[in-house]
Structure 1
Amino acid sequence: MIYYKIKSRFLYVVLLIGGKNMDFNNIINGMKNDIIKYTQELIRIKSVETEPLTNAPFGSGVNDALMYMLNLASSFGFKTKNIDGHIGYAEFGDGNDIAAVIGHLDVVPEGDGWLYPPYEGVCVDNKIYGRGAIDDKGPLIAALCGLKAVKDSGAQLGKRVRIIFGTDEESGWKDIPYYTNNEALPCCGFTPDGAFPVINAEKGSINIVFKKNILRKSKGMISIKSLTGGNALNIVPNFCTCCLGLKDMAKRMLKDTLGLYCESNKINMSIREDGDDVFITSHGVSCHSSIPENGVNAISQLIVFLSQFNLGQNDVSDFIKFIAKYIGYDCMGKALNINFSDDISGNLTVNLGRIYIDDENASAAINIRYPVKAKYEDIFGRILNIADENKIEISQLSYRKPLYIEKDSKIVSSLLDAYREVTGKEGYTISIGGQTYAKAFDNVLAFGPVFPGRDDLAHMPDEYIQIDDLINCAKIYSKAIYELAK
């Protein structure tokens, strides 16, 4: 008799804990309007990196976003910490080990081509529009509210949970050392900065700049006075403009040639005169640099066009022809002899993200995403050889190694369980060319927010997140947090 009483009490406890776990969804449904409001308010903070200020190393906008999240987390009853304005976190629970969610509050510049205001968080057709809606403000709100649902449910956890608020993911990860050098590291976790079901492989990344000093000046019928294009290396550039000096007889030829070229190649470039100068602007379509084939590179369009002209024997001409020949429209690095591929993460990609030419210097920078089985030394060495042969200087701006965790690992199965329980669909692993904060920690993977079949609008005009997806993210993240921290 006593045995059965103990057994029934045990079953009651199990059922109670399980029931509270299942209540996450109901709690989040009750928070729906608040989750939408928090996401809109965060989007309204323009958190593009600017000049550093006291206690705001990445500028006032990024700091305002960090303070917003810390204050919101504090209002939820979580412990919070601001680490010198570089990074912060919210914490819930007890225990020696930490399960973490790592996201970022900084965003890339908005660029052009928006139908909806990029920093208002307007809701249209069940979508929240704005820079950062999908990358990574909406998902970070979903994760924080997911943790609140776990807290409010009364579910018992065996680990502490930290929601870490990064501030420099888009510009160089200068925030991460302030956490890793000063705080306890998580034993497991995820970053809501990729795609569902779960990402277990991320390509490596190399940023390289090509340079040439302009010593031999142009004296031909067509001279390039200046050329500039692109903002960030992780964005396919949607603009590039050059200023040309032309002899009178060359102006009409250039106009006629440009018109025919654009028509036959179905590209968008415009031309205007200003005194003796002629300006050509190339118009492209932005997208994330990890999928350059989905955009239209404005720099490539203009460089390839200019390379067809006789620009004379000078350093600007040599540099433009080098970039056109070895990069141009080639998104897979064939001309640079770096077109590696593997069965886990696919093809290497190249994005010509920035260029600048004036009377003294020429520079162009590329972002390379390389497969997990490829070697950094092979890639950089091959590019260095080609650059040396053409008397072009190169230097590495940054480098991050690939990430790969086996499909049958515990963290993969835990995250897929959370995905399956909320969506009712079987999960699977995927690889990406993008890079996330998962690379900065052991046993951390990118997990959402983009659902299968949805477009990834990160870094694009009219970026948005579906409201239904935002709420489902919060439900999945609450379950994942519980699974990792129980």
Structure 2
Amino acid sequence: MNPGKVEWNEENKPQPDMELLEQWISRQEDQMREDIAALIRIPSIADQQEAIPGAPYGKKCREALEQMRAFGLREQMETEDIDGHCLTIATGKGNVEIGIWNHLDVVPEGKGWIYPPYTCTEKDGYLIGRGVQDNKGPAVAVLYAMKYCREKEILNNIKVRQILGCQEENGMPDVEYYLKYKKAPEYSFVADCGFPVCCGEKGHCIVLMETVSAVEGILEFDGGTAPNSVPSFAHAVAENKIGQKSEETAVGISGHAAFPDGTQNAIGILCGKLKMQNFPEQTKRALEFVERLSEGGYGEKTEICCSDECSGRLTCNIGQAFLHEGHLRIVIDIRYPVTKKTEDFLPKLQTEAAKSGIRIIGIEDSRPYYMNPEQPFIQTLMEAWREVTGLEGRPFVMGGGTYARKIPNAVAFGPGQERNLDRLGLPKGHGNCHCADEAELFENLKNAVKIYVFALKKLDKRIKEIR
């Protein structure tokens, strides 16, 4: 992610100990790669239907927590298992707790990968595999920043606790469980975003809709793997009036639901193909509505679009579509501006859907959040970013959702930085998080370690002022 224009600022030069930190990171590179690869090998897709005692999100998520716990113990840090919902790794001597949050669950791999999704492949300085961006690579970067601080005995006024969950991608019940049974850190940042500081997030609404009547002539329909991913593939089987069956497929361009520019929704493309067939009028109207709703990624053809100056436009993604007892169901991911409410757009969506024989059957809403960018905690993080990078930037608001929206006194802070995926020669739509061939520049992760070390040093020195 590149959250905004940045410029060189010659006044923000690195501190004298940058060279020592860079030498230390250079010595850690091989181990960092191995640690990231170990996590990538675990297909930690959360599934509460596979819950067992101690593994509320399935065995693979539990395995990822155990692997991370092994890293923490190896580095002689305190670890605590929060009933399989979260793991914590802590270091520092102070009484004021600073939380750094990551997640170890990943979205399903989907289709079309060139490289194996659960092997960490290195090419041209990039690491490729599910989770290298979102959020296993960042979790390792945070751990190494904490390791440096522990080895150099930097943290005397704060205690830093890395908190790792396993159900971030679907509802975040893991962080809710943590906050129910554990005290929230005094301040937190979530390492699951872009630099510099994300001080707010759009509202996040998941809407489940279905056709009022069964869709005649469609025997199978399947598209998408998760609400927050733009689907790259969709498939259907249709039957005409004389019993002849035909198969239709559609290929789109995947991406994160919150950042639809450059994506193409395969579900909408498939509906556009199907509507040309000789279906009953009711089925055609439903297909046309789904096609309109999925086009462009901003809901503009259904009159739900809205925006504000602070956070930009509402985004709308049909992430999944399937048949349920003959009815077509769609799962919609909507990210709406921080100054808006669901009441501003859901009635319009409901009215438009009803004209096409579709109704809303379920809604989950996570309200927007926003923290004043002048707050001293945010300004301290911004200073660390500027000193390490020599770049100038400003706090921003985004459509992506992180744990920060659930946690008191929290923002999102890196580690996303500029990257040129073109050099990998990947097909369009590959390389980003939630996409096939998810990739991250290893240099970016090393740079994140530096920024986090500087941020923690500053917080340790200034915690009394910040409070």
Under TM normalisation by the shorter chain, which class is it?
Answer: 0.7 to 0.9
Q: CA deviation at 1:292?
A: 1.9
User: Aligned residue for 1:334?
Assistant: 300
- The alignment status of 1:205 with 2:199, answered yes or no, reads no
Q: Show CA shifts across 1:300-355 (max 9, x none).
A: 001122224441244x3442233234x14142222332211111111111101111
Residue in 2 that maps onto 1:251: none
Is 1:29 the counterpart of 2:4? The answer is no
Of 371, 374, 393, which aligns to 1:405? 371
Q: Give me the TM-score of the superposition, normalised by structure 2.
A: 0.88
Tell me if the contact between 2:93 and 2:155 (Cα under 8 Å) persists in the aligned partners.
no
Shift of 1:389: 4.8
Instruction: Give, in whole Å, the separation in 2 of the partners of 1:417 and 1:168.
Output: 32
2:189 aligned with 1:214: no
Cα deviation for residue 89 of structure 1 reads: 0.4
Equivalent residue for 1:116? 115
Report the counterpart of residue 277 of structure 1 in structure 2: 245
**Structure 1: how far apart are the matches of 2:446 and 2:131?**
16
Supply the AA of the counterpart residue of 2:399: G
SS at match of 1:469: helix
Larger radius of gyration: 1
- 1:443 shift after superposition: 2.2
Residues 437-458 of structure 1: CA distance to partner in whole angstroms, max 9, x if unpaired? 1111122211112113556711
Shift of 1:364: 1.0
Q: Is the 8 A contact 1:384 1:394 kept in 2?
A: yes
Out of 396, 402, 415, which is 1:449 matched to?
415
- Give the C-alpha shift of residue 390 in structure 1: 4.6
Match of 1:379 in 2: 345
Secondary structure, counterpart of 1:439 in structure 2 = helix
Q: Which residue of 2 aligns with 1:437?
A: 403
Is 1:236 the counterpart of 2:230? The answer is yes
1:5 maps to: none
Q: How does 1:37-48 map to 2 (within 5 A)?
A: 37-48=34-45
SS of the aligned residue for 1:294 comes to: coil
Kept after mapping to 1: 8 A contact 2:89/2:163: yes
Q: Provide the C-alpha distance between the structure 1 equivalents of 2:116 and 2:288, rounded to a whole number of angstroms.
A: 39
Aligned mates of 2:223, 2:155 — CA distance in 1: 53
- Unaligned 5+ residue runs, structure 1? 1-17, 249-274
State whether residues 294 and 317 of structure 2, in contact with CA within 8 Å, keep that contact through their aligned partners in structure 1. no
Instruction: Tell me the distance in 1 between the aligned counterparts of 2:409 and 2:135.
Output: 20
So what's the TM-score if we normalise by structure 1?
0.84
Q: Which residue identity lines up with residue 481 of structure 1 in the other structure?
A: L
SS at match of 1:377: helix
Quick check: 1:80–1:90 contact (8 Å CA) kept in 2? yes
Judged with a 3 Å threshold, the aligned counterparts in structure 2 of structure 1 residues 475 and 240 are, in CA distance, closer, same or farther, namely same
**1:115: how far off?**
1.6
Contact 1:21 1:150 in 2 (8 A): no
Contact 2:240 2:278 in 1 (8 A): no
1:307 aligns with 2:275: yes
Q: Conserved in 2, the CA contact under 8 Å of 1:225 and 1:359?
A: no
1:106-161 residue CA offsets vs partner (Å, 9 max, x unmatched): 00111122121111112121111110001110111000110110111122431211
- The DSSP-based 3-state class of the residue aligned with 1:98 is strand
CA distance in 1, matches of 2:169, 2:261: 20
Residue 47 of structure 1 deviates from its aligned partner by: 0.9
- Give 1:358 shift: 5.5
Mapped to 1, the partners of 2:313 and 2:416 lie a distance apart of 21
Measure, in 2, the Cα distance between the counterparts of 1:92 and 1:418. Answer: 20
Secondary structure of the corresponding residue to residue 436 of structure 2? coil
CA-CA distance at 1:396 after TM superposition: 3.6
Q: Which residue identity is paired with 2:443?
A: D
Paired residues of 1:207 and 1:366 also in contact (CA < 8 A):
yes
Report if the CA contact (8 A) 1:107-1:132 is conserved.
yes
The letter of the residue matching 2:204 is S
2:452 & 2:420 partners in 1: Cα distance? 18
In structure 1, distance between residues paired with 2:115 and 2:205: 33
Answer yes or no: is the 8 Å Cα contact 1:303–1:328 preserved in 2.
Answer: no
Find out whether 1:425 has 2:425 as its counterpart.
Answer: no
Q: Compared with structure 1, are the counterparts of its residues 453 and 471 closer, same or farther at alpha carbon in structure 2 (3 Å cutoff)?
A: closer
Report the counterpart of residue 152 of structure 2 in structure 1: 153
**Equivalent AA in structure 2 for residue 476 of structure 1:** I
User: Shift in Å at residue 74 of structure 1?
Assistant: 1.5
Q: Distance in 2 between matches of 1:87 and 1:144?
A: 15
Cα deviation, residue 387, structure 1:
3.4
Q: Is the 8 A contact 1:227 1:242 kept in 2?
A: yes
2:218 to 213, 224, 227: 224
Identity value in percent? 32
- 2:289 is aligned to 322
Residue 189 of structure 2 corresponds to: 190
